[in-house]
Amino acid sequence: MCRTIAELDTEITTCRACPRLVAWREQVAREKRAAFRDETYWGRPVPSLGPDDARLLVVGLAPAAHGGNRTGRMFTGDRAADVLIAAMYANGLANQPTSISADDGLRLLGARVTAPVHCAPPDNKPTPTERDNCRHWLDRELRLLAPTLRAVVVLGGWGWQALFPALAESGWAVPKPRPRFGHGAHAVLDSATGGGPLAVFGCYHPSQQNTFTGRLTPAMIAAVFADAATAAGLRPAP
């Protein structure tokens, strides 16, 4: 059982609990995309990114095969990363607007980025069993962050569904019926253990499918992060 976020981030990189995902992440790392053929892919579980006293947590889906699985860092080295980090930078949550490689100098400010599944899945689709296998990592992360955590941005309906059971497990009172996902969805959960309330925000995932079609624009994602940063106490109220 990890006692600190640093331990968690180290431990997770050795996990091999999902045979299908272990095989896929390693196959992708061997075969590579032509544009990255000279690079050494990470090919392992991708730890979360950001400080251990974050007030805002971003919950995605899983690392991308040629993004996080290549660079070893969440939301790094692909177009979804460009959109997400630009929106965070615009709201004072990152020190630079780009996320290109693990050594590019990016620092998240008061915010942390995680995923319910830490290995790249085929077609970006983890199975329910893989989601459940990975749940204990998310549960532990939420418990360790609980003293400071005040807001969550969930990128997409899949992450939304995966997050709420983990929040309940980690000490927040999840309303029944469970809040529904939508872009701009907003729910406030009380702490069942005496901590502060947690504001949860829904946002469409910054996948190419959403950004190329205009379903999610830079202004839309920046607006969600503005609200979330305010709720987390990281940005003054407008």
Residues forming contacts to ligand SF4 in the complex (CB under 6 A) are 12, 15-18, 21-22, 45, 117-119, 130, 133-134
User: Which residue number, 17 or 222, has a Cβ lying nearer to ligand SF4?
Assistant: 17
Q: How far is the CB of 38 from ligand SF4 (least distance, A)?
A: 26
Do the bridges between strand 198-203 and strand 186-191 make them parallel or antiparallel, or are there none, so unpaired?
antiparallel
User: Which residue number, 16 or 33, has a Cβ lying nearer to ligand SF4?
Assistant: 16
Task: Sort 195 into a burial class: Cβ within 10 Å, 0-12 / 13-18 / 19+.
Answer: middle
User: Which residue number, 2 or 22, has a Cβ lying nearer to ligand SF4?
Assistant: 22
Q: How far is the CB of 136 from ligand SF4 (least distance, A)?
A: 8
Give the residues across from 94 on adjacent strands.
108
**Helices 157-169 and 128-145: angle between axes, nearest 10 degrees:** 50
User: Which residue number, 119 or 198, has a Cβ lying nearer to ligand SF4?
Assistant: 119
Q: How far is the CB of 22 from ligand SF4 (least distance, A)?
A: 6
Q: How far is the CB of 212 from ligand SF4 (least distance, A)?
A: 27
User: Which residue number, 117 or 203, has a Cβ lying nearer to ligand SF4?
Assistant: 117
Residue 107: φ, ψ to 5°: -130, 130
Q: How far is the CB of 117 from ligand SF4 (least distance, A)?
A: 5
Residue 238, both tokens: 């407008």
Mention every residue, 6+ apart, whose C-beta is less than 8 A from residue 42. Answer: 29, 68, 69, 70, 71, 72
User: Which residue number, 78 or 130, has a Cβ lying nearer to ligand SF4?
Assistant: 130
